[in-house]
Amino acid sequence: MTSSTDDGVGSVLVVCAHPDDVDFGVAGSVAKWTASGIDVSYCVVTNGDAGGFDPSVPRSDIAAIRQAEQRAAAATVGVHDVTFLGYPDGRLLSSIELRRDISRVIRRVRPDRVVSPSPDRNWERIYASHPDHLAAGEATVAAVYPDARNPFAHPELLEEGYEPHTVGQLWIMAASTRNAYVDVTDTFDKKIAALRCHVSQMPDPDGVEDRIRGWLTAVASEAGFPEGRLAEGFQAVDTR
């Protein structure tokens, strides 16, 4: 178990199912990457329109609220390219259409690394395995290989001007098996600031810092980092 290396990585695309998923899963790493000059883009598959906790907020307003919250959170960690695919929250399927739409973003951004939800259910932490996360993960893995690199997959993308692109690395969030770790001790405050942008999802904003610190402390210990460090962990796959 070792810390990750970003040698040769100039751009990263993070795909997630809902607004705030990226901030729970990878925002500390994203802040570190952008500070080092790596370009990071987000692709959010749904608008999170089934989220929220306040019944006084009209349901018709939720999608716009959550988009605005995610854009603000992204800016907090140095990300300004945020794509929303607009699929229905809570009803996501790993469809051919979703694979095509994620492939389109991959071909536009042309990232060296894609960070994805896990397509596998995590029985040790069921909350990480929302059905939308699983569907987004399966579609993203299929988009990385083979769809985005195959000129004969989704021919309409070529017609739109999106040339094939081979992603070199796939990193899986909330994986049961982790082999790549990022020390986010110095960017923890930015991760928390990004999470606090999601006001519509946080009935207890004061409790979020302790909860996240506990998670990241455990991951850092798993990675063998010194006491007091914080880390985000992933399953890294070489897809070249």
**Residue 145 in domain:** yes
pLDDT tens-digit profile of 83-113? 999 999 999 999 999 999 999 999 999 999 9
Residue 2 pLDDT > 60: no
Q: How many domains does the chain have?
A: 1
pLDDT at residue number 4 = 66
For the entire predicted model, the pTM comes to 0.96
Residues 204-226 have a mean pLDDT of: 95
What is the span of the domain harbouring residue 31? 9-51+58-238
Q: What is the mean pLDDT of the chain?
A: 95
pLDDT at residue number 127 = 82
Residues 227-239 have a mean pLDDT of: 97
**Residue 3 in domain:** no
CATH number at residue 33: 3.40.50.10320
**Residue 88 in domain:** yes
**Residue 104 in domain:** yes
pLDDT at residue number 1 = 44
pLDDT tens-digit profile of 178-213? 999 999 999 999 999 999 999 999 888 889 999 999
**Residue 13 in domain:** yes
pLDDT tens-digit profile of 123-160? 888 888 999 999 999 999 999 999 999 999 999 999 99
pLDDT at residue number 122 = 86
**Residue 209 in domain:** yes
**Residue 2 in domain:** no
pLDDT at residue number 3 = 60
**Residue 136 in domain:** yes
**Three-class DSSP labels, the chain:** CEECCCCCCCEEEEEECCCCHHHHHCHHHHHHHHHCCCEEEEEEEECCCCCCCCCCCCHHHHHHHHHHHHHHHHHHCCCCEEEEEEECCCCCCCCHHHHHHHHHHHHHHCCCEEEECCCCCCCCCHHHHCHHHHHHHHHHHHHHCCHHHCCCCCHHHHHCCCCCCCCCEEEECCCCCCCEEEECHHHHHHHHHHHHCCHHHCCCHHHHHHHHHHHHHHHHHHHCCCCCCCEEEEEEEECC
